[in-house]
Amino acid sequence: MLVQKRSPDGDAPAGAPVPTIRVKVKFNGVYHEIYINSQASFGELKKLLSERTGLHPEDQKVVYKDKERDSKAFLDMAGVRDRSKMVLLEDPAAQAKRLLEQRRTDKAERAAKSISRISLDVDKLATKVSALETIVGKGGKVVDADVVTLTEALMNELVKLDSIAADGEVKVQRRMQEKRVQKYVETLDVIRAKNAAAPKANGNGNGAANHLPPRPPPVSQRRNFQQPPPAAAAPPTQRWETFDLLSSVPSTSSAAVTTTMAAATTTSPAAATTSPIPRFDWELF
């Protein structure tokens, strides 16, 4: 479609007011009166019609004098005057194209946001990888579980990157993040190999020292922890001593023994009532 170019000679003199015209545009059987500058373009007219009809400017098709007008064409150049009539039509092809382009743009924006979030997560994991690399580089040893956990986390981020469908610049960003994650995974593989070779380099004694049971204390120290001897038995009462004495006296005893025996068997009435003397079968002894 040819578009007329406005020439500087055809413009109104400087300082002269630009006239405002009123055009009638028919859409779905309804006329809309639009007040617009006579030197405006059809694109500006479509924007004003979008406010009245709710139709996107790119989905509009303006027909004037049985001819579709381009958005870049000017009203006065097309012969539009005050009270001119036009027809507004909806362009399904332009609408589908616009929606498809908008969907593609939204998809690219979502992909870019997803890659940005993954990049932040990879930054956090990269800090941990650098810390492990520093420890191993100084000859230290790290826990294998930490290396495995970091490797799995990086692989999960790599899977997320592979699931993102992107084109153009977003695809380039995704590829850069994939190479970055793969580099960290290779670094962890090197750390694991050095970590596995650390016990062999240090010797079998150092590697097995962590698994030996604790040594028992020396004999000299164990003697100090022997159990104390049992407490001495309580001294027997006078009554039991008397019975032991009686059991040890021979049958042909002297008068002194008989006197002692009589004194032992003789008790006071009060003592007899309070604690009776138990009887024993002396033949068992």
Residue ending a domain, choose from 152, 181, 203: 203
Is pLDDT at 192 greater than 60 in this prediction?
Answer: yes
Contact 50, 59 (CB under 8 A): no
| Together in a domain, 115 and 50 | no
Residue 39 covered by a domain: yes
| Together in a domain, 59 and 109 | no
Is pLDDT at 281 greater than 90 in this prediction?
Answer: no
Residue % of the chain over a pLDDT of 90? 38
Identify the pLDDT of residue 86.
92
Residue 1 covered by a domain: no
Q: Which residue did the predictor score with more confidence, 76 or 224?
A: 76
- Buried b or exposed e, range 3-16, using 16+ CB within 10 angstroms: eeeeeeeeeeeeee
Strands 60-63 and 30-37: unpaired
Residue ending a domain, choose from 70, 90, 110: 90
Residue 216 covered by a domain: no
| Together in a domain, 136 and 194 | yes
Q: Which CATH number characterizes residue 123's domain?
A: 1.20.58.120
| Together in a domain, 104 and 83 | no
Residue 118 covered by a domain: yes
State pLDDT tens for residues 22-36.
999 999 889 999 999
| Together in a domain, 111 and 47 | no
pTM of the model: 0.49
What confidence tier does 242 reach under pLDDT thresholds 50, 70, 90?
very low
Residue 171 covered by a domain: yes
Residue 108 covered by a domain: yes
**H-assigned helices in 54-143:** 92-137
What's the number of domains the chain is made of? Answer: 2
Which positions ≥6 away from 91 have C-beta within 8 Å? Answer: 59, 60, 61
| Together in a domain, 102 and 85 | no
The CA–CA distances, whole Å, from 16 to 11, 13, 78, 181 equal 10, 6, 21, 67
| Together in a domain, 48 and 122 | no
